[in-house]
Amino acid sequence: MHFAGKVWRLLVGIKDGLVLVFMLLFFSLLFAVLTARPSPAAVRDGALLLDLNGVIVEEKSRIDPFEALIMGSAPIAEYEVRDIVHALDAAASDDRITAVVLDLDRFLGGGQVHMQDIGEALDRVRAAEKPVLTYATAYADDAMMLAAHSSEVWVNPLGGAVLTGPGGERLYFAGLLERLNVNARVYKVGEYKSAVEPFTNTGMSAPARENAQALYDVLWEEYRANIKRARPSFDIDRVTGDPDEWVASTQGDLAQAALQAGLVDKLGSRTDFEARVVELVGEDDFGEGPNPYPHTELSAWLADNPRALPGKTIGVVTVAGDIVDGDAGPGTAGGDRIADLLDDALDDELAALVVRVDSPGGSVMASEVIREAILRHKANDIPIVVSMANVAASGGYWVSTPADRIFAEPETITGSIGIFAVIPTFEEAAASVGVTSDGVRTTPLSGQPDPIAGFTPEVDAILQSVIENGYEDFLTRVSEARGLTRAQADRLGQGRVWDGGTARQLDLVDEYGGLPEALAWAAAQADLADDEWHARYLGSEDSTYDTLLRQLFVDDSDAAQGRDIVALIAGDRRHALERVETELGGLLSRSGAQAYCLECPSQSLGRQPSTLSHGWLSTLVSLFAR
pLDDT tens-digit readout, 499-512: 999 999 999 999 99
Residue 378 CA to residue 51 CA, distance in Å, equals: 41
Cβ 407 vs Cβ 386: under 8 Å: yes
- Residue 186 in contact with residue 425, Cβ under 8 Å? no
Tens digits of residue pLDDT in 343-385: 999 989 899 999 999 999 999 999 999 999 999 999 999 999 9
Strands 497-499 and 413-415, by their bridges, are antiparallel
pLDDT number for residue 502: 96
How many C-beta atoms lie closer than 10 Å to residue 492's C-beta?
Answer: 19
Active site residue 193: yes
What's the distance, Cα to Cα, between the start and end of the chain in Å? Answer: 66
What is the rounded CA–CA span in Å between residue 583 and residue 403? Answer: 31
In terms of DSSP bridges, do strands 413-415 and 132-139 run parallel, antiparallel, or are they unpaired?
A: unpaired
What's the DSSP call for residue 247? H
Select which of 193, 367, 479, 618 is catalytic: 193
Q: Is 610 a catalytic residue?
A: no
Domains and CATH numbers, the chain: 40-167+228-304 (3.90.226.10), 307-418+493-551+594-626 (3.90.226.10)
483 phi, psi to nearest 5 deg: 65, 40
Q: Return the pLDDT at 276.
A: 97
The active-site residue out of 394, 416, 479, 618 is 394
Q: Give whole-number Cα distances, 416 to 157, 186, 203, 233, 466, in Å.
A: 44, 17, 20, 37, 19
Instruction: Give me the residues of the chain with pLDDT under 50, please.
Output: 31-36, 555-560, 605-626
What is the total residue count of the chain?
A: 626
Q: What is the pLDDT of residue 153?
A: 97
Strand locations in 361-493 (E): 361-363, 384-393, 405-408, 413-415, 419-425
